[in-house]
Amino acid sequence: MKATCWMGRNTVEVENVPDPKILNDRDAIVRITSTAICGSDLHLYDGYVPTMKRGDVLGHEFMGEIVEKGKAVDNLEVGDRVVVPFPISCGQCWSCKHELYSLCENSNPNARLAEKMWGFPTAGIFGYSHLTGGFAGGQAEYARVPFADVGPIKIENGVSDESVLFLSDVFPTGYMGAEMCDISGGEVIAIWGAGPVGQFAAASAKMLGAERVILIDRFDYRLQIARENTGVETLNYEDVDSVPEALKELTGGRGPDACIDAVGMEAHFHGPLYAYDRMKQAARMETERPFVLREAIMSCRNGGIVSVVGVYGGFVDKFPMGALMNRGLSIRTGQCHVHRYMKPLLERIQNGDIDPSFIVTHQLRLSDAPRGYELFKHKQDDCLKVVLKP
């Protein structure tokens, strides 16, 4: 089959690789009908996530049709149309039973690697380095889905791929980012990053009852998409001297009740600090450029919540621990526990509360994946989300 393979820094190629096979009784094979490039794939593309190997099949946002299943998968039939969540979860360990699916205790066969890096291992993830299991990803024609009796959600016909595909990652991830802000009505939420996750965090914060949502980015086209589709306020950070100052003045001197970091380890920034972190990161003396995290902490009101859904991998410098501690802030974070949100969010889509397809700006053939990565990385041609069709 054809699959998008990581061939080194800034290089992906669509290669011929063997077709996936059932290895365990709880596996299923999915023929992929739609798959997307995620912002976090760009961290792999840019070479900032360790333990990638030349030839790794990428992709963790995909959906398709069950074409084969192991004998222990009894809730799905061959021919079913499914969306597959990006974390691989066994459904039977303590973490899964407590809906902490991205922390599944069993699904990462390279647990020891992750343990060395992070203290404890996390769940396996499709196409996302060997640290998260070394599973082949879904930017391909077929994928093997382990624990298929737990993850994939069945989709009835009559709804387009583009409307449900993002249940695999970015919609639940943005939703969880908003949910972690404890919104009960009347809050002001600031969100850094108007990429797909930031867009869904903004839409979800609105859905959950936030009174004002301020989305921050530097690309006007992305901010415009947000204004038109989610009705949020936007702030182009290149128009202001200081984001924390601007947010303070926009919120009557209080600061937002909660701040969502939907950017992660490769943030951009203007000012001398950017050069400092960029250099340290390039020299691999620091793994992240944590501008957004710093700004989110400095901007948040006293006693507020900083919700981090942007991806981080290692260590950050100049972390404002003093502000966090003295001002009583809480940090909430995590890789999304996608399984927890798929069903309720599918219902929201079916009810017409939201149509996630508004983020799609590019639809390409799978064979055009290399171009898709370039478009997305460099934000060319007003790119916000690339969907690939095998």
Partner 1 sequence: MAAHRVRARDKDPLAQFLGWFSIGLGTAQVTAPRLMSRLVGASGDGRAQLLMRIMGLRELTQGVGILVRPRPTYWLWSRVAGDGLDLSLLGLVAARNPGKRGRAAFAIANVLGVAVPDVFESRRLSRLEGAPRSAKLVRKSVTIDRQRTVVEAAWLGAEEVRRKIEKAEAKVSFAEAPGDRGTELAVEFLESPPAGDLGAAALKLTGKDLATELSDDLRRFKQQVETGEVVRSDSTPTGHALVGHLKQRPAQPVEEAVR
Query: With binding defined as CB under 8 A, does residue 174 bind partner 1?
Result: no
Q: With the C-alpha atoms ordered 342, 347, 353, 354, is the resulting torsion angle positive or negative?
A: positive
Applying CB under 8 A, does 279 fall inside the site for partner 1?
no
* By the rule CB under 8 A, 93 interacts with partner 1: yes
The stretch among 34-42, 111-119, 180-188, 323-331 that binds partner 1 (CB under 8 A) is: 111-119
Nearer to partner 1, 136 or 243 (CB): 136
Best CA proximity match to 114, nearest among 87, 138, 144: 87
Q: Which of 106/299 has CB closer to partner 1?
A: 106
Least distance from C-beta 306 to partner 1, angstroms?
28
Please name which of 383, 389, 377 lies closest in space to residue 12, comparing C-alpha atoms.
377
Q: Which is nearer to partner 1, 59 or 195 (CB)?
A: 59
Q: From the list 4, 5, 32, 243, which residue makes contact with partner 1 (rule: CB under 8 A)?
A: 5
Dihedral sign, Cα of residue 63, residue 69, residue 73, residue 75: positive
Alpha-carbon Rg for the chain in angstroms: 20
The tally of CA atoms less than 13 A away on the side-chain side of residue 110 is 17
Which residue from 181, 183, 190 is spatially nearest to 210, judged by alpha carbons? 183
Paired with 87 in beta bridges are 125
The least CB distance from residue 73 to partner 1, in Å, is 12
- Say if residues 57 and 17 touch (Cβ distance below 8 Å): yes
Cβ proximity to partner 1: between 71 and 378 the closer is 71
Residues 35-64 that bind partner 1 (CB under 8 A): 53-57
State the nearest-atom distance from the C-beta of 319 to partner 1, in Å: 28
Q: Are 140 and 32 in contact (CB under 8 A)?
A: yes
The binder of partner 1 chosen from 48, 86, 147, 376 (CB under 8 A): 147
Nearer Cβ to partner 1 (55/334): 55
SS3 351: helix
DSSP string, 241-300: S-HHHHHHHHTTTS--SEEEE-S-TB----SHHHHHHHHHHHTTSSS-B-HHHHHHHHHS
Q: Does 18 bind partner 1 (CB under 8 A)?
A: yes
CB 314 → partner 1: shortest distance, Å?
Answer: 18
DSSP 8-state secondary structure symbol assigned to residue 20: P
Contact between 302 and partner 1 by CB under 8 A: the answer reads no
Give me the least distance between CB of 329 and partner 1, in Å please.
Answer: 28
CA-nearest of 2, 75, 65 to 29 is 65
State yes or no: residue 92 binds partner 1 (CB under 8 A).
Answer: yes
State which residue, 19 or 249, has the beta carbon closest to partner 1.
19
Choose, by CB under 8 A, the member of 34, 35, 107, 281 that binds partner 1: 107
**Cβ nearer to partner 1, comparing 25 with 156:** 25
Does residue 310 interact with partner 1 by CB under 8 A?
no
Q: Which amino acid is at 16?
A: N
CB of residue 92 to partner 1, shortest distance in Å: 5
- Count the neighbouring beta carbons within 10 Å of the beta carbon of residue 81: 19
- Rank residues 19 and 353 by Cβ distance to partner 1 and give the closer one: 19
Cβ–Cβ under 8 Å, residues 141 and 31: yes
d(CA 180, CA 111): 27
Nearer to partner 1, 35 or 281 (CB): 35
Is 138 a binder of partner 1 (CB under 8 A)? no
What the block records as the tokens of 198 is: 């930031």
Single out the residue of 85, 87, 146, 310 in contact with partner 1 (rule: CB under 8 A). 146
- Per the structure block, which two tokens stand in for 360? 């799609």
Beta bridge partners of 330: 305
Q: Is 117 in the site for partner 1 (CB under 8 A)?
A: no
Q: Is residue 85 within the footprint of partner 1 (CB under 8 A)?
A: no
| Binding site residues, partner 1, CB under 8 A | 3, 5, 17-26, 53-57, 72, 90-94, 97, 105-113, 124, 127, 130, 133-137, 144, 146-147
